[in-house]
Amino acid sequence: MRRKSVVVCLLVTLALCDRSWAQRPADGKSVVNPLVRVLQAKGILTAEEVAQISQASSANDADQRLAKLLLMKGVISQADYDQAVGTPGMINAYNAGTSSPTAIAAVYRVPISNGVGGASAVPPPQEPQVIPAVAPLRVLPIDIPKQGGLIPDIKLGSGANMKLYGFFKASAVSDTASSGGPTFGSQDFPLPLLLADTGPTSDPQVHIKARSFRIGSQLEWVPKNSNIVVTGRVEADYEGDFTNQNSVNISSPRNGQFRTRLAWARLDTKLGGSLPWFAEFGQDWTLYSSTLPSLFETTGTAIGMGSLWERAPMFRTGVQFHSGDLKVQPEFAIVLPVAGTAALTDEQRARFGDRAGPESNQPAVESRIVFQFPLSHSWQGVVPAQVIVSGHHAEINEIIPFGNLPTTVIPGAAGCATATCSIRDFFPRGLQLDNPQNIWTAEAQLPTPWVTFTGKYYQGGDLRFPFGGQLNDVFNDLNGAVTIPTTVAAAVTALDSRTVLFGCTGATGAGATFNCNGNPVVAQSFRPVRGLGGFLEASFPLSRIFNFSSEGYNSGWVLHFSYGTDRARAQDVRRSGANGLARTDLDSASLTYRLNKWVTFVQETSYINTRAANHGGKIFRGIPATQAHSWRNEFGTIFTF
């Protein structure tokens, strides 16, 4: 058996080394090396796989196809594959005359006879290993997928290849204060403070979290005789809210709901044979989500604290230009418009999620441009830098049907079609009110061997959906008119349950004495609450800085420091309809120790500080407050697969 395995390994080695079999004669048909036929005869390769190899466009392509097939079958290891594909000099060892069994075994770790009846494994030459620098978190990388570039875990009957991935996180959390109230006072992830009263104390809490389980799959389809690369991704987790069912109504805190994160398919090809172009369809990260902080707490990922991001259904496309090591990728997307309406009822949110965006009858539009380049060619283990600019625009439309308008006569109102005027008389078919949603960002990711800097700045209006602007969306603006009090006419709501104000210009009085003084009734406008924010982060690869061994137990130490801030314009927040929050800051430090590629331990300490727009305008610990803070500690482990 040992001799047979040696023969098979040598055949594999020679097949990889002898590139003459992939050369094409004048008739355009490929010539398959007899050694590959031997591998087929021994059952290592199938006829279909040999045919796939024979369709290679070049010798390098043939090498890669054969090596990948042998890796999938377990004939060679991942390290052997990396050497064979990534080091052309070794692939050419046989052709260069280094064809002794010892030399071949050194390249591919093939066991050979030592001449005395035993077998020995000659280790391959090893390059010096470098602990990599900290790579920025890039949810929208610009690397171009290659056809057949996925090494699958599962090969589906349809011909698609699938690679599974994911992680499970368990952590213990201590908070010195909560966000407050019956809704936000007991979640296990951080939100801005001062959302409601916390009772007689700051409501300190402890949570043990085990619902951060994420699983996903990368997909690849390889169409025959096509220059199109088809890839996809599906990803989900258990970070959804808890279930409300009779069978678990007592034990609901351990029943996080499964939810979709990502689900998209992508086509890549080259226009004119040289210009990379892609089109993607499905749910992915929005284009303003390119840069995120490296936080251990990923439930929400710094909601309302300077990390602007979202995932949404979209159609996305782009091209990539190259000039030396510089890559420039402009992109454009049409996206589901979402207002993140704060007034939605639980029933409405469960049935359709949000209606004000889709009812504008136009998609949101987004664009970004990415510049990617290495900061230095001499640095080893350092990924290229990126500078990114992005923008987003959507229209949001509120509908108020005439049936929601009161028929109460408004004192002194004039100008309608009847002798006495109600709000419905002025708007006999109901009305629609719209507002813009605008965002722009500037981002940078600058990795070096000693520290990786990442940063993001954003500005815009109606930032609630991407978790900015202190979670405000719009405020009510009567444009100088005097509000008709609810004692005169009942409150009016839009279809999404948002309150709509009406008034009269030049009105006087209040309550029962209110009078429009011969002026018509006018409707308010919805104005987006304006906001800005961003974050700065510095990540230090401690193991690399202190020159620890890349093979030792101290090779995985990383230290992160970050500061984030999210702010809403106070004069907007003070208006009707806003939540009263003006600013939340997040200071965070985390120490990460990666034991191996499967297990990581993290200690993260955060300081959260929230301020209200009005002095004493909120209640905290049962008393009026303008500011509140919380210390949050979270320790846990991540098991990656």
Query: Please, are residues 456 and 372 in contact by the beta-carbon 8 Å criterion?
Result: no
Residues 110 and 169 in one domain: no
Do both 110 and 226 map to the same domain?
Answer: no
Q: Are residues 44 and 184 in the same domain?
A: no
Q: Give the containing element (helix H, strand E) for 79.
A: helix 78-86
Which residues does 311 contact at the CB level (< 8 Å), separation at least 6?
Answer: 261, 262, 283, 284, 285, 286, 289
Q: Where are the alpha helices (DSSP H) in 235-319?
A: none
Give domain status of residue 253, yes or no.
Answer: no
Say if 567 falls within a structural domain. yes
**Which one, of 374, 390, 336, 341, lies nearest residue 358 by Cα?**
336
Q: Is residue 139 part of a domain?
A: no
Q: Quick one: pLDDT at residue 159? A: 81
> Is the confidence at residue 269, as pLDDT, over 70?
yes
Q: How many domains does the chain have?
A: 2
Rounded Cα distance between 369 and 389, Å, is 6
CATH of the domain at 397: 2.40.160.10
Mean pLDDT of 37-58: 67
pLDDT of residue 241: 79
| Contact (CB, 8 A) for 352 and 342 | no
Q: What is the mean pLDDT of residues 146-160?
A: 82
- From 186, 181, 136, 193, select the one nearest 606 (Cα to Cα): 193
pLDDT value at position 250? 78
Give the pLDDT band of residue 19 (cuts 50, 70, 90): very low
Tell which wins on pLDDT, 57 or 308. 308
The answer on pLDDT for 125 being more than 60 is no
In a domain, 103, yes or no: yes
**Mean pLDDT value across the chain:** 84
Angstrom distance (rounded) from CA 580 to CA 569: 10
- pTM confidence score: 0.79
pLDDT score at 469: 95
Mean per-residue pLDDT for 352-375? Answer: 93
Q: Which residue has the higher pLDDT, 121 or 221?
A: 221
385 and 468 both lie in a single domain: yes
Q: Given the structure tokens 């209006």, which residue do they identify?
A: 461
Tell me what pLDDT residue 267 has: 94
Give the 3-state secondary structure of residue 387.
strand
Do 361 and 237 sit in the same domain of this protein?
yes
57 has a pLDDT exceeding 90: no
Q: Which of 149-158, 566-575, 607-616 has the lowest mean pLDDT?
A: 149-158
Pairing of strands 154-155, 161-175: antiparallel
Q: Is the pLDDT of residue 90 over 70?
A: no
CA 51 to CA 563: how far, in whole Å? 56
Maximum C-alpha span of the chain: 116
Q: Within this chain, do residues 295 and 415 fall inside the same structural domain, yes or no?
A: yes
The pLDDT assigned to 7 comes to 44
Q: Are residues 170 and 81 in the same domain?
A: no
The token pair that represents 265 in the structure block:
């398919």
Residue 626's domain comprises 154-192+211-245+261-479+526-640
Per residue in 616-631, pLDDT tens? 889 999 999 999 999 9
CA distance 78 to 94: 21
Q: What is the mean pLDDT of residues 95-108?
A: 31
Going by C-alpha positions, the residue among 554, 549, 638 that lies closest to residue 600 is 638
Do the domain assignments include residue 580?
yes
Give CA separation, 474 vs 362, 495, 575, 580, in Å: 19, 16, 9, 12
How confident is the model at residue 331, as a pLDDT? 98
**What is the mean pLDDT of the segment spanning 377-392?**
95
Same domain assignment for residues 241 and 112:
no
For residue 28, the model assigns a pLDDT of 44
Q: What is the mean pLDDT of residues 159-184?
A: 92
The residue with greater pLDDT, 181 or 36, is: 181
**Nearest CA among 46, 53, 55, 54 for reference residue 73:** 46
Spatial CA neighbour of 310 closest among 353, 352, 334, 340: 340
Look at the block and give the residue holding tokens 């979209």.
314
Q: Residue 580 pLDDT > 70, yes or no?
A: yes
In 463-582, where does DSSP find H-type helix? 542-545, 570-573
* Residues 60 and 162 reside in one and the same domain: no
Express as a percent the part of the chain with pLDDT over 90: 60
Q: Which two tokens stand for residue 180?
A: 């407050």
**CA dihedral defined by 196, 199, 205, 211, rounded to 10 degrees?**
-40
Query: Among 581, 594, 596, which residue's Cα sits nearest to residue 626?
Result: 581
Q: Give the confidence band of 48 by pLDDT, cuts at 50, 70, 90.
A: low
Whether 503 contacts 481, CB under 8 Å: yes
According to the per-residue pLDDT averaged within each range, which of 150-154, 279-283, 336-340 is highest?
279-283
Q: Same domain for 318 and 448?
A: yes
* 145, part of any domain: no
Average pLDDT over residues 390-394: 97
Residue 562 to residue 591: CA distance in whole angstroms: 12
Same domain, 165 and 106: no
Picking from 532, 616, 613, the residue whose alpha carbon sits closest to that of residue 571 is 613
Determine, yes or no, domain membership for 198.
no
Where among 120, 141, 176 does a domain terminate? Answer: 120
> Mean pLDDT throughout 181-196?
92
Specify the higher pLDDT residue, 485 or 62: 485
**Residue 452 belongs to a domain:** yes
How many CB atoms within 10 Å of residue 252?
13
Residues 319, 449, single domain; the answer is yes
Task: Give residue 208's region: left, alpha or beta (phi > 0; psi -120 to 50).
Answer: beta
Q: What is the pLDDT of residue 572?
A: 93
